[in-house]
Structure formats: structure tokens, C-alpha cells
Amino acid sequence: MEQINEIADNLKLLGDKTRLTMLALLKERALCVCDIVELLDISQPNASQHLRKLKSAGLVNETRKGQWIYYSLTIEDKPYVQAVLGYIPSYKQKIAQLKNDCD
């Protein structure tokens, strides 16, 4: 029953377009908040709030590199999330157009 609750909670998180898009972006590579802000055209506090929810659910991990925090997926133990992301179009080209002012 606990596993069902976790899956339901995680799928609810994926029901939000912004969070689902963030996971689709992170499927391509680790990104810092400034990259995500640029790609999604949202405010930094908004992006951070969504990332905080994804992190608390165990869907993303953060790694500090200098003054920046980079986010990456941690869904190896969540095949249902991997399955959903398998149906999401690739954001590889959009990520390639990043200005990278964070680095």
C-alpha cells in the first residue's frame, strides 16, 4: 500500500506541466537552475520551488559545482517514471541552444 501511495504522489507531481518538462530536460543532462529558468522562461523562485518538490520526492538530485547547483534525475528505482519519460519528446536541441551564462 505504501508503494502505491508513493507512485500516486510521484505521478501527481508529473501531472504538472512545468515539473514534467523539467524532468524531460533533465533526462538529457544535468542542468543548473539558471539553465532551467532560461529554457522554460519562468522565474528563478518558481523553478526552485518546482525543483524542491521533485527533490523531496526523490526524483532529482542536486550537486554543487562552485556557486551553482546542478540538478539531475534519480529515477533508476522508479520504472514508472522512466516509462512516462520514454514518451516525452527529446529536448536535446533546445538544450543545445542554451546560452550557458551559469558556467
CATH number of domain containing 17? 1.10.10.10
Whether residue 100 is contained in a domain is answered as no
Domain that holds residue 30: 2-93
pLDDT category at 17 given cuts 50, 70, 90 is very high
Is the pLDDT at 100 greater than 70, yes or no? no
Q: What's the confidence (pLDDT) of residue 92?
A: 94
Is the pLDDT at 103 greater than 70, yes or no? no
Residue 22: name the closest of 41, 42, 8, 36 by CA.
Answer: 36
Q: What's the confidence (pLDDT) of residue 101?
A: 57
Whether residue 98 is contained in a domain is answered as no
Whether residue 21 is contained in a domain is answered as yes
Per-residue pLDDT reduced to its tens digit, 34-74: 999 999 999 999 999 999 999 999 999 999 999 889 999 99
Whether residue 99 is contained in a domain is answered as no
Whether residue 69 is contained in a domain is answered as yes
pTM confidence score: 0.91
Percent of the chain with pLDDT over 70: 96
Say how many domains are in the chain: 1
Q: What's the confidence (pLDDT) of residue 69?
A: 92
Mean pLDDT of the chain: 93
Measured CA to CA, the distance from residue 84 to residue 43 in angstroms comes to 26
Q: What's the confidence (pLDDT) of residue 102?
A: 62
Strand 60-65 to 68-73 pairing: antiparallel
Whether residue 85 is contained in a domain is answered as yes
Whether residue 103 is contained in a domain is answered as no
Whether residue 6 is contained in a domain is answered as yes
Terminal Cα-to-Cα distance of the chain (whole angstroms): 44
